[in-house]
Structure 1
Amino acid sequence: MMTTAEIRQALEADAAIIADLIYSTSLACCFTPEQPCPEWYRESVQPDKVGSLLKSEHLNWLVATQGQELVGVLAIGDKNHVKYFFTHPSYQNQGIGKQLWQFALRNGALAYPLTVRSSLFAVPVYERLGFIASESPKIFNGMHYQTMVADRG
């Protein structure tokens, strides 16, 4: 089922909602009791930290909304590194992420080649977007990830 979302630039006023979306989605999708969320990661996505990142000239933040609800976020560093790409679990598999991605492509927010350090949960999503693993999965301070690259969409 395709859900249509409105895509726009993130605002500083969105910081707390974006932080909650990133953290709650990470907990739901990327961590388990056996592999819990590292404290450093939780700290890195607090509203004050996200608010600072929203001001960065090196990051382009897009959000997807449906009605008044923020349902997705995409943050691109220097046009070629995916920093954050999350869709609220209730809206996954409904085309929200694809709409964010296509908006970013249409509006010049992305430039190939692209890189990402994907959670292992999100690897299939990135593969559908044309990414391939560029090295074996790694663990950084308790965070499991897969480095991936896309040469074109």
Structure 2
Amino acid sequence: MNIRPYTDQDLAEVVALFTDSVHQIASRSYTPEQLVIWAPPAPDLEQWRARLSDVETLVAESGGVIAGFLSFTSNGHIEFLFTAPTFSRQGVASLLYQAAMQRLTASGVETLTTDASLEALPFFESRGLKVSKEQTVERNGVKFRRFAMTGPSKSSNHHRSA
């Protein structure tokens, strides 16, 4: 698995991965109506290009295929963390997270934040982030549950300190 910076040539593949991930993995926790609003079947690539231009994005690549991506801001907010369904539960998110944490801690970031979906909540909790607030957000009249989370940028490697 190769972790590398996102390039504009990755746009279509990253957006397709996001759409597939939402519709296949998040379908365990969200309704079909929520999934279509969250990840429209015909995504707006220019809107995605603009969103990704505001964050640093890393991609995990395996055999020339993007297996996952993670986007974050310079102040430690994790904007996106998605794995392709065919690579689910194979450590892709963990590798991306470790690579992002190395970059963030090297630049002096001590605290992470994210807005986690129901599916992402256990992943972030296992890395020491805590729910600071349960949120209900609305998009196009459809409500979603998510969790504002915060925690240390230095990974505890799943070991809890006393």
TM-score band w.r.t. shorter chain: 0.7 to 0.9
Q: Which residue of 2 aligns with 1:36?
A: 34
Amino acid corresponding to residue 49 of structure 1 in structure 2: Q
Q: Which residue of 2 aligns with 1:71?
A: 67
Deviations 1:58-93 (A, max 9, x none): x10100000110011000023311110001122122
Question: Given that residues 68 and 92 in structure 2 are in contact (C-alpha distance below 8 angstroms), is that contact kept between their aligned partners in structure 1?
Answer: yes
**Larger radius of gyration between Structure 1 and Structure 2:** 2
Using the aligned pairs only, state the percent identity.
Answer: 22
Question: Given that residues 134 and 146 in structure 2 are in contact (C-alpha distance below 8 angstroms), is that contact kept between their aligned partners in structure 1?
Answer: no
Is 1:89 paired with 2:94?
A: no
The alignment's C-alpha RMSD in Å is 2.4
Is 1:106 paired with 2:102?
A: yes
Runs of 4+ in 1 over 6 A off after TM superposition: none
**Which of 18, 27, 32 is the equivalent residue of 2:14?**
18
**Which of 127, 139, 148 is the equivalent residue of 2:137?**
139
User: How far apart are the structure 2 equivalents of 1:150 and 1:40?
Assistant: 25
Give the deviation of 1:50 after TM superposition: 1.8
Judging changes above 3 Å, is the alpha-carbon distance between structure 1 residues 49 and 6 closer, same or farther for their aligned structure 2 residues?
same
Deviations 1:78-120 (A, max 9, x none): 3311110001122122111111111112233772311111111
User: How far apart are the structure 1 equivalents of 2:9 and 2:136?
Assistant: 34
Deviations 1:33-60 (A, max 9, x none): 465325365389532222223333xx10
Q: TM-score, normalization: structure 2?
A: 0.79
Q: How is 1:47-58 mapped onto 2 (pairs within 5 angstroms)?
A: 47-56=45-54
* Partner SS state of residue 66, structure 2: strand
Question: Given that residues 12 and 54 in structure 1 are in contact (C-alpha distance below 8 angstroms), is that contact kept between their aligned partners in structure 2?
Answer: no
Question: Given that residues 37 and 143 in structure 1 are in contact (C-alpha distance below 8 angstroms), is that contact kept between their aligned partners in structure 2?
Answer: no
Number of paired residues? 147
Structure 2 gaps of 5+ residues are 156-162
Judging changes above 3 Å, is the alpha-carbon distance between structure 1 residues 48 and 125 closer, same or farther for their aligned structure 2 residues?
same
Structure 1 gaps of 5+ residues are none
